[in-house]
Amino acid sequence: MTKKPGGGAQGPRERKSSGRGQRDLRVRVKSAKGRRLSSTLWLERQLNDPYVARARRDGYRGRAAYKILELDDKYKFLVPGARVVDLGCAPGGWCQVAVPRINSLGERADRKQGRIIGIDLQEVDPIAGAEIHQLDFLEEGADEQVKAWLGGEADVVMSDMAASSSGHKGTDHIRIVALVEAAAQLAFDVLAPGGTFVAKVLAGGAEQGLQAMLKQNFTKVANVKPPASRSDSSEKFVVATGFRGRQDDAPDAD
């Protein structure tokens, strides 16, 4: 790592423009026998990503933690006392961010104590202040199970899930939109009135139905690309606030 003049440590810097006395500080990775080019490029990107280095310093399990941190800084949904459900929580970075913000450890006696339930298909290492469960949220009765674990309705349902990549951009886009729609349906079943739904989607042309569904069930829907989201990525995040209560059965919902 390099250091700012007179300052603390900072992450790897982007390549500077060429000039006298300037050096290329970008880490480059040589291809190794048996390693795919895509793996080499991924490793090089990780080594040069300032958010990866920052996550290591701050003790987060991944750079994705800064995405929910930046979204919450803007929309203020992780408040002390909030009851939160994190769908597809592995490796746990979003839970790590939520714990102190909702005061789930009760470390601030002057603030309400919140609760967070993390759910994933795979086992996730324990996180102090978060309750982690292994569950397929698509299973029948998952909504009731979540509310039982939470002890009531949720104030926030958030998801950083992404469907497994097929290598085909159009197919992957449809898959992730379908996954977000399923997460939204669970949110409709477990959110308290006024609640918030936050989820990752991919920019494209298949999410109009998702947007319409969210606008019907929430008072405000915003689409955001936080600074921590890589500029070359098509991901964005939808932040739906002010849950109205499930509106699927409304006369004009056909």
86 is in an annotated binding site: no
pLDDT score of 71? 98
The reported pTM is 0.77
| Residues known to be catalytic | 200
pLDDT score of 204? 63
What are the structural domains of the chain? 29-58 (no CATH), 62-243 (3.40.50.150)
> Average pLDDT of 22-48?
48
106 is in an annotated binding site: no
pLDDT per residue over 130-150, tens digit each?
A: 999 999 999 999 999 999 999
The answer to whether residues 100 and 111 touch, using CB atoms and an 8 Å cutoff, is no
254 is in an annotated binding site: no
Q: Render 63-111 in DSSP notation, one character per residue.
A: TTHHHHHHHHHHH--S-TT-EEEEET-TT-HHHHHHHHHHTTT---TTS
pLDDT per residue over 173-183, tens digit each?
A: 788 888 999 99
pLDDT per residue over 41-64, tens digit each?
A: 444 454 556 778 888 898 899 889
Least confident of 27-36, 54-63, 85-94: 27-36
194 is in an annotated binding site: no
pLDDT per residue over 220-240, tens digit each?
A: 999 999 998 877 778 899 999
Which residues are bridge partners to 133 per DSSP?
119
